[in-house]
Structure formats: structure tokens, C-alpha cells
Structure 1
């Protein structure tokens, strides 16, 4: 069996992923939600799945009835390459094992912290061997021994004017660490999402620049910020 290539990522996320790709046989754990076991994935997990499908990979989604189809589409996802198992209940691990043999990426939110048996069995199922092409396990939440861990250390929403307006985008700082090649922590500053729903690098504005149309920040008239505390997101509003 010819060795399958690793799975592509969106250009804005390549700088923080080892080798700029999602490696087959690896586990990527993503954390940037308020509730550890909520029904929807984070924008960050969506962005990774969106980039994979946009690059031609097939994706399975397990245990996420609130999967953000519109948000994923705005990030460039090919929705025709997604297979959904919305509510597998206690059989979520079985669903992951089945999909891992058919798709390139499995995005899962376990209903609770996975057991050691879950970790071992799923790890064997996604591994790249002479008999199986391997898959990427993308976990919206925690996973013991994950190869790569992504988390938000800063999050600021933009778009409010003097107490009014509409949210137009979120600037974030993504920190990445893990095992092996991912051992050294790296960070990236992104629009996640930008005003048009896409994911792109955020570059600090210079004096005299106009910045992103329709956005304001802490130095403007007002806005929304979010602090990440113990894995949760604390949102604050302010205005002039």
C-alpha cells in the first residue's frame, strides 16, 4: 500500500503545526471553549477540519450535534467531504474506530474524559501501518498523551462602536505544544474568524493604518474582550 500523505491545514495555521500539516497517526487536542464538554466545537477545531477538507481530505465528525456548518463553510470547508455521527452516546469510541478506517480526519468531542482503554484502542486504529493508511484524531477537548495541543491564550472580539454595533471578528493568540517535534511551544496571532468568516494571520496595525474595516479594539470606542482562565473563556464588554 502506498503511503498516504499527511493532511493539509489552512495557510494561517501551518506555522504552528509540526511540519505545517496534520500528521496521520497523531492526536491533536484543541481547547478554547467555555464548557469542557459542550455540544459545539471551537472555532479552532473547526478551522483545522475546514482546512483538511479544503485540501481534499475526508472528515468524520462524532458527538457534535452543534457542529457549525455555516462557520466551517466560511473558513473554506468542503462540506461534501464530511460524514456526521451526531449523537453516538456511549458508543462514541466505536464510531471513531469505524470512521478512522474510512476518512482522513476524525473530529470528536467525547462525552467525558476518555479512559486508558479508549486511548489505546483508538491510538492503534489511527496509526499508520503497512496495512492501514492512518488518520488524524482531532479532539475538541482533552486527550491524555496528545501529540499536539492547541489552546487560546488571548481572545478579543471586535466590532462594537460606542456601545452599539455587530461583532465582526475575533483576534486570538494560539499556543501550540506537545510531544517530540511539537515539544517547543509556538504561538500565532490570528483572525479567528475574520469579518468574512475566514481564518488569517493578524498583523498589528502600524501608525496611520486603517486596519480591518468595521472593527474597533480596546483603543477605539469600545468592544468585547475575552480572558482565558483555567480553560474557560470570560467575556467582558466595554464602551466609551
Structure 2
């Protein structure tokens, strides 16, 4: 019988293994952008809800940079330049900016050919619709990133604070953006981390890795 000291570790290991399984099949990890390390691990078959375009593109950047196909559905303000700076391969990215009321049909079709699909739903999504698409994700070993709300999202990433730097005494250019991100997975305590998206040197990374002597941040509304 396990000792009291080892029981929490055993439970944590079992929960980790269960998180990596769905319908009895292993849910393989997907490449995740280094800026999100420690906050979220993308997995095939999972769905991830975000509240900003920056977080959505960062989630796509990991698999895209590793050579996987990605897609974006219903994202009319998709920023190609920002996506490229994050590491997205636009030659392997399918864009459907205005699918109309067929967004779900288009998303389901793209799940068959892309490893990660980003979508912005039109209106409220019923749980049964999300579950059907979830089954398709698991079958195709794909992941879904949703800009907005999504029933039973595996992880919800929320921007809590936003600050720009580069403006001083009324002049200058905005050079870097620091955001505080909260990652909520079910009822577990949320994980929080600060990210540079981008930093002064145009890289995208955890803010804890910021260079010394960076310009002071200017707080703005998120």
C-alpha cells in the first residue's frame, strides 16, 4: 500500500495520464510556442478558448513552426504580419475569413486536413455541437482554438493585464507589449504568467526572460 507521503504524487501522475487520454486513445502533445511554456500544453483532440487574437495566434504558432498545417475560420481581422512574426508559416495556413452561417461546416471540414484550426463562432454554441466537433478532433488528432467561449473547453486562456512600452513623454513608438495571461483548466487553480508579445527585440517569450534595462511600461486598456 502506498505511503501517505507518496499518495499525492501518485494521484498527480494518474491525473496527468488521464489528461492525455480520451476515448481510450492517447492524446499526443503538439508543439507549443515557448512563450506559453508552463501555462498550457496543446494536445491533439483538445479545444482551447482564448479572449484575444494575440493568444490565438500564439497557440497556432507552435504547430505551424513545426511544419503542421493550420487554418483560421471567421477571423476577419487575422493579422498576417503579426502571425508571421510569431512563426506561423502562412504558406501552410488556410484562411476562411467570412464563412457566413456555415462556419461550423467549414470548421469540421478543415479539421480533416489541418492539425490546428482557429475559429470565431457566430453566436452561442450548443454543447451537443461542441461534443460532435470534439469527437471529430479526437478522431483526426487535431486541436481547436476558439476565439470566444466554447463549451467544455479544455483550457481557457484569458488576458488579465496589458501594457505597452516605448512611448516616453508624449513621443516615441510602441515597441513591446507585455500581457498577463491566466490559464484555467477545469476546477484546478489557474496558472498565470507574463508574456512579451512582442518584446523590444521583436521576439515573443515569457516576460520573466526580459532583458534588463527595458523601457518602462505604459498601461493601456485591454
The answer to whether TM tops 0.5 is yes
Map of 1:48 onto structure 2: 59
Query: Aligned Cα RMSD in Å?
Result: 2.2
Q: In structure 1, how many angstroms separate the alpha carbons of the residues matched to 2:151 and 2:28?
A: 25
Q: In structure 1, how many angstroms separate the alpha carbons of the residues matched to 2:91 and 2:85?
A: 14
Kindly tell me the number of residue pairs found equivalent between the two proteins.
Answer: 198
Map of 2:97 onto structure 1: 86
1:129-148 superposed matches below 5 A? 132-148=139-155
Aligned partner of 2:200 among 195, 205, 216: 195
Pair 197,69 (structure 1): closer, same or farther in 2 beyond 3 Å: farther
2:182 match: secondary structure: strand
The one-character-per-residue Cα deviations of 1:109-162 (angstroms, maximum 9, x if unpaired) are 1122212332122112112xxxx3321010011112111000111111111011
Do the aligned partners of 1:97 and 1:125 also contact (CA within 8 Å) in 2? yes
Normalised by the length of structure 2, the TM-score is 0.82
Higher helix proportion, which one? 2
Unaligned 5+ residue runs, structure 1? 33-41, 218-222, 228-232, 234-240
Map of 1:6 onto structure 2: 29
1:9 Cα deviation (Å)?
1.0
Pair 26,205 (structure 1): closer, same or farther in 2 beyond 3 Å: closer
Do the aligned partners of 1:107 and 1:137 also contact (CA within 8 Å) in 2? yes
Do the aligned partners of 2:27 and 2:43 also contact (CA within 8 Å) in 1? no
Indicate whether 1:28 and 2:22 are aligned.
no
1:52 match: secondary structure: helix
Normalised by the length of structure 1, the TM-score is 0.76
1:99-138 superposed matches below 5 A? 99-127=110-138, 132-138=139-145
Map of 2:220 onto structure 1: 226
Q: In structure 2, how many angstroms separate the alpha carbons of the residues matched to 1:203 and 1:120?
A: 37
